[in-house]
A and B are shown apart, each in its own frame.
Chain A
Amino acid sequence: MASRSLEMIDYTSLIRRNQQIDWAFGIGGVVVLVIALGTLITLLTDLAIDGLSRIDMQFLSSFPSRRAAEAGILSSIVGTTLVMIVTAALAIPLGVAAGLYLEEYAPKNAVTDVIEVNVTNLAGVPSIIYGLLALGLFVYALGLGQTIVVGGMVLALLILPVIIVATREAVRSIPQAVREGSYALGADKWQTMQFYILPAARPGILTGAIVGLARAIGETAPIITIGALTFIAFLPPSPIQTTFPFISFEWLWSPFTVMPIQMFNWVSRPQAAFHINAAATGVVLMAMTLLMNGLAIWIRYRIRRTMK
């Protein structure tokens, strides 16, 4: 074998073989893609066929009811929206701050290593565990009750690792030259962060935030665990008041329900009409997620334009 000389290698066949491997991999990729997308499209179409015709103003503006035809998702749409607002308001600032600190400020030592490993691990903890934690800590120990604020807090905890990791990735990808340029102009560290690093990292952070929020919006287990309701036929107090100070945060302390709980309840009912309601709720939930995604893409697009 060792005596085989260079001239004996058949380059044409070697190239052909490599091209075949290339080609096979390409085909394999397409097959996998078709399977994955096909499953997704089948699921979505199935949901849309079942649910789309049920969505009308009555469905969107009614409270749950024992009669499938009169039932609606008003309280759960409002609940989901408010909980997501709390989640975003807590998780994004905290997650970005933590990510930025870990990437730019934290000294590289054993403690930071342990924190880093655990942040990544936290992203894989089943959501029900967060629910149990929130039940013990927020609901009972801190006495916050089964309220929107607790719902927002538990989902914020759940997606915090996602946002932290995304922020770190985004910050890490910014060239060192940007920092050096900023320091050369006499900026201190925070100014560098504020005017150069954070704006440049915003698209990546935004993507992380959306991935996190999209996960949070579909969660049922932790929300049920903290004691969210299923039947609730009134809305939280309005945030805008007619009397001074015109703005109220009382809604934070309201009992609530969210759309995945409503779906979960309807899916397990015996009557087929409720199953259609569940499908319709699924369509609305997906539309909300897409809307959120669209919003993020639009913001990212605007940021990119202004940065150029």
Chain B
Amino acid sequence: MHRHCWLATAAAVAFVATAGVADAQEATVLIDGSSTVFPISEAMAEEFQKSTGIRTVVGLSGTGGGFKKFCRGETNISGASRPIRTEEMELCKENGVEYIELPVAIDGLSVIVHPKNDWAECMDVADLKMMWEPDAQDKIKNWKQVREEYPDAPLNLFGAGVDSGTYDYFTLAIVGKEHSSRGDFTATEDDNVTIQGVAGDINALGFLGLAYLEENRDKVKPVAIRQADGSCIEPTLETARDATYQPLSRPLFFYVNKAHADAHEHVRKFVEFVMDPKHGTELVAEVGYVPLPEKAFELGQKKFADRKTGTFFGGGSKVGVTIEELLASEG
């Protein structure tokens, strides 16, 4: 019996050795990157594979992990919840990877409070800054400190984990500096935890992606943000799409490897599929994100057809950029 075991093992090893690595490499579109963008990538991949029969797979490495692979040329497309960073640009450059930056959807970061919270209806960016800036640590611990008319109640903060693109964008838009905030808040990589935290505490305030708010409107309610013209705008699909909800609307991106798009028809076809207004609107809305404005698809198609490489952002995020501006730029 033992001898058979050894023989089988030896045979297995021999087969494995002869099987070769390259055999299983059927034309496949390889997508990786942000977990925020994942539902969009998944929806696109699912429909694309159904309608064309071209294999499409999606990984979940996060924006940073995704860029590491993308800049090594391992993936065709990388989903990102923030623009590519300087060090990632350098990595891509080192490996000779050129990329085309395409927005695929909009996310409205939402500030949420408990449904019974009747004082924080509309807040200024300055109020939020006071709560979240690094100097607030161990100092701003009561709602009353933020504004006189707020009640004398403890301020309990919940937010996205510091490794997430959500955190980066929120801090940039509110505090004014990317990746900089107080440290004494409940940070989590799972926005559902923020929902639970805020839903269970009348004095809590948190921020998360719009899709999580939309699914939990019975448990938490959004805070409207006072705009430059004095109006109070709540985060909704419409206000994020037409860019009236500022400064917390942010674009989500696909970065496409230019050389792969040139060399492989299946990559080209996939990008064209994503930039089709029908797919771009229906599929994105279905998974709870805000579709791009109508005009953006045409601009995106053109940008891809012209193979305009590089990033609009120069290595950091920018607040209040409209999708049209982003796509029209030379990059």
Task: Spell out A's residues near B (CB within 8 Å).
Answer: 63-67, 89, 93, 143-145, 147, 149, 194, 224, 227-234, 236-237, 247-255, 261, 264-265, 267-272, 275
Contacts and interface: CB of A to CB of B under 8 A. Distances in A.
Interface of B: 2, 9, 12, 15-16, 19-21, 23-24, 28, 32, 35, 38-39, 41-43, 45-46, 49, 55-61, 69, 74, 189-192, 209, 211-212, 214-216, 283, 286-288
Contact of A272 (B61, B191, B215, B287): B215
A142 B286 CA distance: 41
A227 B59 contact: yes
A64 B283 CA distance: 15
Given A144-B21, A230-B59, A270 B191 contact: yes
- Kindly name the residue among A93, A228, A231 whose own CB sees the greatest number of chain B CB atoms within 10 A: A231
A64 B42 CA distance: 9
Nearest to A275: B192
B42 A253 contact: no
A64 B56 CA distance: 12
Contacts of A145: 21
Contact of A224 (B15, B46, B55, B60): B60
- Kindly name the residue among A145, A248, A250, A269 whose own CB sees the greatest number of chain B CB atoms within 10 A: A269
A249 B60 contact: no
Nearest to A230: B60
Contacts of B211: 270
Given A230-B42, A230-B58, 14 more contacts: A89-B9, A143-B21, A149-B16, A230-B60, A231-B46, A232-B57, A249-B12, A249-B15, A249-B16, A253-B20, A254-B24, A255-B57, A268-B192, A270-B214
A267 B190 contact: yes
A229 B16 contact: no
Q: At the interface, is chain B mostly helix, strand, loop or mixed?
A: helix
A268 B15 CA distance: 40
B286 A66 contact: yes
Contacts of A253: 19-21, 23-24
Nearest to B286: A66
Contacts of A267: 190, 192
Nearest to B72: A140
A63 B28 CA distance: 17
Contacts of A63: 46
A66 B12 contact: no
Given A89-B12, A253-B24, A268-B189, A66 B61 contact: no
A63 B49 CA distance: 12
B35 A249 contact: no
A255 B23 CA distance: 12
7 contacts: A63-B46, A229-B57, A231-B56, A234-B55, A249-B19, A268-B189, A268-B192
A264 B190 CA distance: 10
B12 A229 contact: no
Contacts of A250: 19, 23-24
- Which 7 pairs from chain A and chain B are nearest by CB? A231-B58, A66-B43, A230-B60, A270-B215, A270-B212, A253-B24, A270-B211
B166 to A, nearest CB: 12
A193 B257 CA distance: 57
B42 to A, nearest CB: 5
Contacts of B74: 227
Contacts of B15: 247-249
A93 to B, nearest CB: 7
Contacts of B216: 270
Contact of B19 (A143, A227, A230, A252): A252
